[in-house]
Amino acid sequence: MRDALSRVITGAASLLATACTAGFAAADNLPARDASSQVERGRYLAVLADCTGCHTAPGGESFAGGRPIETPFGKVVAANITPDRDTGIGNWTDEQFDVAVRLGRAADGSWLYPAMPYPYYTRMSKGEVLAIRAYLSSVAAVHHKVTSNQLPFPFDIRAGMRLWDALYFNPGPFKTDPAKSAEWNRGAYLVNGPGHCAACHTPKTHLGGDRDHQTLQGYSVQGWFAPDITDSTTLGIGNWTATDVVAYLKSGHNRFAAASGPMGEEVTNSSSQMTDSDLAAIATFLKNVPGESVATRPLDSHAPVMMAGAAIYQDLCSACHNADGTGVAYLIPSLAGASSVASREPTSILRVVIHGAQSVATAHEPTGPAMPAFGWQLSDAQIAAVATYIRNSWGHAAPAIEASAVQKARKAAG
Amino acid sequence: MTARTLPRKDVVIVGLGWTGAIMANELAGAGLEVVAIERGPWRDTASTSAPNYVQDELRYRIRHDLFLRPGQTTFTFRNKTNQTALPIRTWGAFMPGNGVGGGGLHWNAETWRFLPSDFVLRTHLTHRYGKRFLPADMTIQDWGITYDELEPHYDRFEYLCGTCGTAGNLRGKIQEGGNPFEGPRSRPYPNPPQQQPFSHTLFGKAAREMGYKAFPQPSGNMSREYTNPLGVRLGPCTYCGFCEWFVCANYSKASPQTTILPVLMRKQNFQLRDNSEVTQINTDSAGRRATGVTFVDANGETWEQPADLVILAAYTIFNIQLLLLSRIGKPYDPVANEGVIGRNFTHQTISDVTSFFDRSKFIFNPFIASGSIGMAIDEFNGDNFDHGPHRFVGGGYMGQMQTSGRPIQTTPVPPGTPKWGAKWKAAVRDNYLSALKPGTGVHGSMYSYRDVYVDLDPTYHDRFGRPLARITIDFHENELKQNIFLTDKFAEIFKAMGAQQIVKEYRRGPYDITDYQTTHLCGGAIMGTDPKTSALNRYLQSWDVPNLFVMGASAFPQNAGYNPTDTVGALAYWAADAICTQYLKNPGPLVHA
């Protein structure tokens, strides 16, 4: 008999949605709210800013912190931002809160690390930040001490952030571009401000600052590649319509793709709870972010690695993803035309093949299908071959992946 | 050990298979606080199965990975009342499921409706053939519900599942290509039929040339992608042939996991306890009202779950056992012919024909299959033909429904082949692609008898010290005659297809508990119109304890010549509708005897 333990599984805390947190899992059954109140305005802004994504630990109390955020330099643990006076921010003044959120300075004057995305939150107005403060003051105070700074030397010296800010931090609220539509401006504000999309999707310098000339062109973070979300048809999401973008953000799925990993968490905690007009604004903005296109040619389909990859694909992948890589709309992601497949770095494709992936389940798309792990079944060379094949088929073109890269990916995500 | 008491719920559901999931979703949807208690483990497609390991015949088919372990609980069996029953230590004739999804996870997804006449069987047969035509010890009954009443609920279950098929009767108008004998459907199947491989197509062609109306078997394996009314999505079947005994890893087979659970598990007012076995339904001192259930968790700790409404939704035999152990309803006594719990227990009358074709001309590729693929005819089911000359009642569908070419079990060899060794291997190799063995090609009814029943075993106990359920079952002459007639008719079609050699494998008595037949155990807690001969009223509500409803095929007064799941699902929706629209407004008996 299998070694079994009785468990209680309630509501969205099921295995299907382990990333959910109790406070925000009830998206299906949200009570009616007074939209005009400061607290409600702050609640919605906290959704836009996805505060809970970092400040609520998996299975933990809402906003009580403890969620480690992995950066290229080490771990930063998100703080307790409940009104608890000892371990939270109950003792902070509104002014201190505003300075922390928009200028990256803690109540004691020390520098915050940009794992806290203040370089984006700075685009919010003071009034908006104080609304978030009002909302956070309304949640339950939780006594939970968090040691945020777990970085190794020398990164643990907060004063080093003074230099970082001088290099990369451009404070100040969002400025409307009068030449653009109101919807575009709203989208630009959401993407560049509270939504902090660039925090994951924009390539970074060695010091972790955004490479501004490559905005939203994709970056490896937390063992995934946050793909290019520009309008490039070869590297980005240029073949998505605005409706596809809205469907993806709202439900975690569209006819091409499924959100999993950190993006699945973002959908659960943030974009699935945004208004349709805000999602439409984000789509309008993203569809107007020009990307780069690559003119590289795919590898020769008769190359040995491509033939090996094609054989593996036919045996193990095609039953679900189809021989032409198109998948099944809303259920099995399309590999053809997928920005996460053709990405500059193969982080996500290797991770998903090795470890599998659980797509997000939402009220609008409750199915939550998963990709099985193949890491136990395929050797490094086989995974390299099938990933190379996928990245050089159906219009994609990318350099061949070496077996050593697969070995590295196994360790990185393991 | 004293049971600790949990907070009261509106509803406690015993078992989270098809009927438990349907009831949970309907009752939680009505705003009630619902808890389901499931004996086995949590299972979902992502964590339980993956296409790169699930097609493992040894693990799942031979070693029964998904099923209950007889060491956990079993039952005893005998053919006749004068024999001593012995405990089953390896599953054989049927396969008790275990875990979330229950039988709905490992079924083939054959999704048949019963005939209108099946629901009024005794009335219909005595009207057509006279009272004396039926054997004296045959205890068939009317169900207390009509096909027309159940039709909207069949429809609902089929649209939940995305059933694939060709309608044969749309609102009374017979449709070309479907089953002309079926009851009227209010609308077409939600999806077109699956594609049929060569052997199935050939069977359909031969049957049509013989004057039969061949049609594709209704299938819960998807012919295309489908989004059900709950918003849950299924993918197109890949025809891999690993359906029955397996979890579909491609989201292509209708199951609670692929149709309901993604929505149910999100509901805040629904809670599941897995790996927890209900040991008793508790009642008040008068035995007139259920107060909840007692269960034992995986640590062996005993808990009481109080609830206002109890839904018993376990497998047939465990429904019966739990009612007997809880002293709800009068146990059936075959000698006095009194009592209701355990009465009218039935199974199915299955047989097969194996046929061998010229391998230079026929390559059937049996591994291209799905669990409910196939072409069938229904001319010899129920009362679709005149039984007068044949001196038996009942019947079944028949068809070329080979649902897999899995290598361990798909080894048909001609009679006279050695059982092992080089000659056996050569014969398997020579015949694998050109022999046909439909599996359950003849799917016959089993009607109920006075001496076929379930009671509590006087000797053997489970690990909690509770008596095991004891099955007393044998085939009767009526079913054996039916089977010979049907099997002969079936073999004629394979002859017309061009088979060189045909082996008829009639169902013969005595009933063999070691030989897999189907998992369609029925009856034992049957619905009806008279509390003296039925445990439940027409809404599956206990006559004795009105806040107890009992789901599943245990409610069938006798079994028809079809797979039971469509009717099981329809009855669950029918009962849920009665609870939501009638019972909740005025809790109490919905039918006054």
Residue-wise pLDDT tens digits, A301-335: 999 999 999 999 999 999 999 999 999 999 999 99
Per-residue confidence (pLDDT) for residue B47, from 0 to 100: 84
Per-residue confidence (pLDDT) for residue A17, from 0 to 100: 35
Neighbouring CB atoms inside 10 A of A114's CB total 22
- What is the residue-averaged pLDDT of chain A? 89
Cross-chain residue pair A8–B225, CB shorter than 8 Å: no
The CA distance from A334 to A338, in Å, is 7
Neighbouring CB atoms inside 10 A of A187's CB total 26
- Does the pLDDT value for residue B112 go beyond 70? yes
Cross-chain residue pair A366–B235, CB shorter than 8 Å: no
- Which amino acid does the sequence have at A90? G
B390 in active site: no
DSSP B226-279: EE-TTS-EEPPP--B---TTS--TTS-B--HHHHTHHHHTT-TTEEEEES-EEE
Compute the average pLDDT of residues B122-131.
Answer: 97
Per-residue confidence (pLDDT) for residue A35, from 0 to 100: 67
Per-residue confidence (pLDDT) for residue A413, from 0 to 100: 63
Pairing between β-strand B34-37 and β-strand B270-274 as defined by DSSP bridges: parallel
- Contacts with A378 (C-beta within 8 Å, 6 or more apart), sequence order: A312, A316, A353, A386
B190-203 core/surface letters (b: 16 or more CB in 10 A; e: else) = bbebbebbebbebb
**ω into residue B87 within 30 of 0, thus cis?**
no
- Does the pLDDT value for residue B436 go beyond 70? yes
- Does the pLDDT value for residue A12 go beyond 70? no
Residue-wise pLDDT tens digits, B241-293: 999 999 999 999 999 999 999 999 999 999 999 999 999 999 999 999 999 99
Cross-chain residue pair B265–A5, CB shorter than 8 Å: no
Residue of B nearest to A371 (CA): B46
How is residue B475 written in tokens? 């085939």
B22 and B15 in contact (C-beta within 8 Å)?
A: no
The CA distance from B66 to B541, in Å, is 30
Residue of B nearest to A5 (CA): B298
Single out the catalytic residue among B127, B476, B520, B592.
B520
- Does the pLDDT value for residue B525 go beyond 50? yes
**B227 vs A contacts (CB less than 8 Å):** 330
Give the closest of A12, A28, A372 to B50, CB-based: A372
The CA distance from A301 to A308, in Å, is 10
Per-residue confidence (pLDDT) for residue A26, from 0 to 100: 34
pLDDT band at A25 (very low <50, low <70, confident <90, very high): very low
The CA distance from A187 to A281, in Å, is 4
The CA distance from B581 to B307, in Å, is 20
Query: What residues of B are in the A interface, CB distance below 8 Å?
Result: 41-42, 44-47, 50-53, 69, 71-72, 225, 227, 230-236, 238, 240, 249-251, 262-263, 265-276, 297-299
User: Nearest CA of chain A to the CA of B232: how many Å?
Assistant: 5
Cross-chain residue pair B276–A5, CB shorter than 8 Å: no
The CA distance from A66 to A269, in Å, is 17
The whole-angstrom distance between residue B46's C-alpha and the CA centroid of its chain comes to 25
The CA distance from A392 to A325, in Å, is 11
B530 and B94 in contact (C-beta within 8 Å)?
A: no
Residue of A nearest to B236 (CA): A328
The CA distance from B250 to B239, in Å, is 10
Give the closest of B51, B238, B298 to A4, CB-based: B298
Compute the average pLDDT of residues A210-218.
Answer: 93
Give the closest of A17, A29, A332 to B268, CB-based: A29
User: Nearest CA of chain A to the CA of B271: how many Å?
Assistant: 4
The CA distance from B219 to B356, in Å, is 27
Residue of A nearest to B269 (CA): A11
Cross-chain residue pair B52–A316, CB shorter than 8 Å: yes
Residue-wise pLDDT tens digits, B437-493: 987 899 999 999 999 999 999 999 999 999 999 999 999 999 999 999 999 999 999
Q: Exposed (0-12), middle (13-18) or buried (19+): which is B127, by Cβ within 10 Å?
A: exposed
Give the closest of B251, B266, B270 to A363, CB-based: B266
**B230 vs A contacts (CB less than 8 Å):** 366
DSSP B500-525: SEEEEE---SSP-TTS---S--EEES
Q: Which of A24, A253, A318, A328 to mutate to test the interface with B (most CBs of B within 10 A)?
A: A328
User: Nearest CA of chain B to the CA of A234: how many Å?
Assistant: 27
Torsion of CA B549, B554, B560, B563, to 10 degrees: 90
B580 and B573 in contact (C-beta within 8 Å)?
A: no
Selecting from 1.10.760.10, 3.40.50.300, 1.10.10.410, 1.10.3720.10, what CATH number does the domain A304-413 have?
1.10.760.10
Give the closest of A6, A8, A14 to B299, CB-based: A6
**Assign residue B171 a region: left if phi > 0, alpha if psi is -120 to 50, beta otherwise?**
left
Cross-chain residue pair A367–B251, CB shorter than 8 Å: yes
Residue of A nearest to B268 (CA): A11
B85 and B472 in contact (C-beta within 8 Å)?
A: yes
Q: Picking from A157-166, A234-243, A320-329, B565-574, which range would have the lowest pLDDT averaged per residue?
A: A157-166
Residue of A nearest to B250 (CA): A320
User: Nearest CA of chain A to the CA of B481: how many Å?
Assistant: 42
Task: For residue B308, give the 3-state DSSP assignment.
Answer: strand
Size of interface A-B (CB pairs under 8 A): 122
Domain borders along chain A are: 33-169, 304-413
Say how many Å lie between the first and final Cα of chain A, rounded.
29
The CA distance from A189 to A173, in Å, is 9
Give the closest of B41, B51, B274 to A320, CB-based: B51
Q: Which of A9, A313, A358 to mutate to test the interface with B (most CBs of B within 10 A)?
A: A9
**B269 vs A contacts (CB less than 8 Å):** 11
Residue-wise pLDDT tens digits, B22-52: 999 999 999 999 999 999 999 998 888 888 8
